[in-house]
């Protein structure tokens, strides 16, 4: 696991963009396409705007890129809470990505239907004959102050899902927005060739300290917080890379880093 600390959200976005550009070139060279799952929430917006900026937009080969989503809130795509909507406003509406290469979760549909449809999308996009789980080249993730990631929340059944690639889930009562979600499951997150957490702000410092301590523990998965269960390097036969990208505020309780 690699831990990178940057001074602020803008330099965090620069570091993340550089890793995405590198991963993209390697994936296209090796397999003819780059598959990336975008994170929701607010933290990634700075990265998405940077990828769409004149300084970066031509660094990715959008014709050979396929966009997926780690999770979605069950609201219409134009809703302010939509993860797709945030990505569309900050990135997707500004880059030459072919429309059929953007695979959004259909938040406007009943959760069970959106789950089934996205599972079909993943099955069509990834060949299950070559790997037990869809292998995305890059998975971007955030983390909530409760240690959730994507829409895998502590104590919810979705966290323990071990056979489906996609599940619909309710959220704990304390979570906002209080709407059902659709999320990739933990086996898919752990099958990623590269998984990158993006975290910023003092509010994340305490949970970052706790989760990174759990992530590096040799214990099993059962008691760990959701974000601590994302350990692609332990997957066999194809271990993935795990990177935690933090700004200085989110890393402020980690001691000497
Ligand atoms: C979501 C995200 C979620 C997010 C974290 C952090 O749908 O909310 O997928 O996992 O990444 O809650 O969100 P912030 O970046 O807004 O802190």
pLDDT tens for the chain, 257 residues: list them. Answer: 999 999 999 999 999 999 999 999 999 999 999 999 999 999 999 999 999 999 999 999 999 999 999 999 999 999 999 999 999 999 999 999 999 999 999 999 999 999 999 999 999 999 988 889 999 999 999 999 999 999 999 999 999 999 999 999 999 999 999 999 999 999 999 999 999 999 999 999 999 999 999 887 776 666 799 999 999 988 887 889 999 999 999 999 998 65
Q: Whose CA is nearest to atom 8 of ligand 1?
A: 41
- Ligand 1 pocket: which of 144, 149, 150 to mutate (most atoms <8 Å of CB)? 144
User: Quick one: pLDDT at residue 147?
Assistant: 97
Q: Residue 198 Cα, ligand 1 centroid: separation in angstroms?
A: 10
Is the Cβ atom of 200 under 6 angstroms away from ligand 1? no
User: Quick one: pLDDT at residue 256?
Assistant: 66
* The CA-based dihedral angle spanning residues 141, 117, 237, 194, taken in that order and rounded to the nearest 10 degrees: -20
Atom of ligand 1 nearest to the CA of 72: 7
Atom of ligand 1 nearest to the CA of 204: 17
Q: Which three-class secondary structure string do you get for the chain?
A: CEEEEECCHHHHHHHHHHHHHHHHHHHHHHHCCEEEEECCCCCCHHHHHHHHCCCCHHHCCHHHEEEEECEEECCCCCCCCCHHHHHHHHCHHHCCCCHHHECCCCCCCCHHHHHHHHHHHHHHHCCCCCCCCCCCCEEEECCCCCCCECCECCCCHHHHCCCCCEEEECCCCCCCCCCCEEEECHHHHHCCCEEEEEECCHHHHHHHHHHHHHHCCCCCCCCCCHHHHCCHHHCCCCCCEEEEEEECCCCCCCCCC
Is the Cβ atom of 71 under 6 angstroms away from ligand 1? yes
User: Quick one: pLDDT at residue 76?
Assistant: 98
User: Quick one: pLDDT at residue 222?
Assistant: 66
Q: Residue 199 Cα, ligand 1 centroid: separation in angstroms?
A: 10
Which pTM value belongs to this model?
0.97
CA–CA separation, 251 vs 257, rounded Å? Answer: 8
User: Quick one: pLDDT at residue 237?
Assistant: 78
User: Quick one: pLDDT at residue 238?
Assistant: 81
User: Quick one: pLDDT at residue 221?
Assistant: 65
Is the Cβ atom of 150 under 6 angstroms away from ligand 1? yes
Do residues 180 and 74 touch, judged by C-beta distance below 8 A? yes
User: Quick one: pLDDT at residue 215?
Assistant: 81
Is the Cβ atom of 43 under 6 angstroms away from ligand 1? yes
User: Quick one: pLDDT at residue 218?
Assistant: 73
């Amino acid at each position: 696991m690699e831990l990178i600390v940057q001074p602020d959200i803008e330099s965090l976005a620069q570091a993340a963009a550089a890793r995405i550009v590198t991963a993209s070139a390697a994936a296209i060279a090796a397999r003819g396409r780059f598959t990336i799952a975008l994170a929701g929430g607010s933290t990634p917006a700075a990265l998405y705007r940077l990828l769409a900026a004149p300084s970066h937009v031509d660094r990715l080969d959008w014709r050979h890129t396929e966009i997926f989503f780690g999770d979605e809130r069950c609201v219409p795509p134009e809703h302010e809470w939509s993860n797709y909507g945030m990505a569309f406003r900050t990135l997707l509406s500004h880059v030459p990505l072919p429309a059929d290469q953007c695979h959004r979760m259909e938040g406007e549909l009943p959760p069970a239907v959106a789950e089934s449809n996205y599972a079909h999308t993943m099955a069509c996009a990834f060949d299950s004959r070559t790997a037990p789980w869809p292998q995305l080249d890059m998975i971007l993730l955030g983390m909530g102050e409760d240690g959730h990631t994507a829409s895998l929340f502590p104590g919810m059944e979705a966290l323990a899902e071990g056979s489906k690639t996609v599940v619909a889930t309710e959220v704990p009562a304390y979570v906002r927005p209080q709407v059902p979600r659709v999320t990739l499951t933990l086996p898919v997150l752990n099958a990623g060739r590269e998984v990158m957490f993006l975290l910023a702000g003092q509010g994340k410092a305490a949970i970052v300290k706790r989760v990174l301590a759990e992530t590096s523990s040799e214990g099993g998965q059962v008691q760990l917080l959701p974000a601590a269960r994302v350990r692609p390097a332990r997957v066999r036969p194809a271990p993935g890379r795990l990177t935690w990208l933090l700004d200085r505020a989110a890393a402020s309780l980690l001691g000497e880093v």
